[in-house]
Amino acid sequence: MQTRNPESKRLQGIRSKETSLAKKDDLLVKEVIRGNDAALAELIELYEEKLFCFAYRFLGCAQDAEEVVRDTFIAIWQRASEFKGDSSVRSWVYGICRNIAISKLRRKKVTTVCPVPDIVCDPSPSVNPEYQAWRNYRANLLATCIQQLPPAAREALILRVYQELAYEEIARICTCPVGTIRSRLNYAMKRLTRLVMAMDKENNLGENEP
């Protein structure tokens, strides 16, 4: 019998955790179909932050992101019985959220980023103020440039880099082949680099840390 190395043990741990979370999600959706509002509240608790982060980065506006999350959970409640288990609950939930965010983008023509300082926080508040200010400046600059990416490239970048979802799952959410997601991610990275460089040139500022 082969001895498993620590990495494969760790991956197995992650997979088994994901499996048990997926089972919990399935049970919650079944309960939502039965009209159990407590199950819906639990789904909200499980997904609110992930969906808000996705919608906020995608739309660049906290208020719009909050409306998208609200509409996503209303849609989940209304359409729970349509969930057939062909994908994971997570993919289904993200898919609904993504479609609502895209509709909002089309309706409102949101093109500018409006970061809200009190919801964006530095995970390491002990850093010195000058460095902190520089980080915030660069973070805002990146967010502004991400907003300028075409929506398809933007969602691929956010779902892969920030939400850390697998290609297969992103492909299910965006209803396109895995190869398309890879192409979009590659394009997003190249376009983002050009945008950041152009903005640095325009501001006559380098990316050098203080």
Partner 1 sequence: MKTQHAAVKRLLGLYVLGELGPEETRFVADHVPRCLSCQADLQNLLRVAQELRSVEVQVKLPPDFRKRILNEVGKAQEKIRQKPKK
Contact with partner 1 (CB under 8 A) among 28, 80, 96, 192: 192
Residue closer to partner 1 (CB basis): 14 or 133: 133
3-class secondary-structure state, position 61: strand
Q: Residue 7 pairs with which residues in a beta bridge?
A: none
Cβ–Cβ contacts within 10 Å for residue 90, how many? 19
Scanning residues 47 to 86, which ones bind partner 1 (CB under 8 A)?
A: 48-49, 52-53, 56-57, 62, 66, 69-70, 73-74, 77-78
| Residue 36 binds partner 1, judged by CB under 8 A | no
The answer to whether 117 and 152 have CB atoms below 8 angstroms apart is no
Contact with partner 1 (CB under 8 A) among 1, 86, 112, 123: 123
Scanning residues 91 to 110, which ones bind partner 1 (CB under 8 A)?
A: none
Work out how close the CB of 18 gets to partner 1 at its nearest, in angstroms, rounded to a whole number. Answer: 20
Per-residue tokens: 112: 């500018």
Work out how close the CB of 161 gets to partner 1 at its nearest, in angstroms, rounded to a whole number. Answer: 6
| Residue (of 152, 151, 122) closest to 139 by Cα position | 122
Work out how close the CB of 16 gets to partner 1 at its nearest, in angstroms, rounded to a whole number. Answer: 25
Work out how close the CB of 159 gets to partner 1 at its nearest, in angstroms, rounded to a whole number. Answer: 13
Residue closer to partner 1 (CB basis): 40 or 173: 40
The answer to whether 69 and 97 have CB atoms below 8 angstroms apart is yes
* Per rule CB under 8 A, count of chain residues that contact partner 1: 46
The answer to whether 157 and 183 have CB atoms below 8 angstroms apart is no
Amino acid at 46: L
Residue 188 is classified by DSSP as H
Reported for 87-91, long-range contacts at CB under 8 A and 24+ positions apart, including other chains, are 87/172, 88/22, 88/25, 88/169, 89/22, 89/25, 89/26, 89/28, 89/29, 90/22, 90/25, 90/47, 90/169, 91/169, 91/172, 91/173
| Residue 42 binds partner 1, judged by CB under 8 A | no
The residues binding partner 1 (CB under 8 A) are: 37, 40-41, 44-45, 48-49, 52-53, 56-57, 62, 66, 69-70, 73-74, 77-78, 116, 118-123, 135-136, 138-139, 142, 160-162, 182, 185-190, 192-193, 196-197, 207
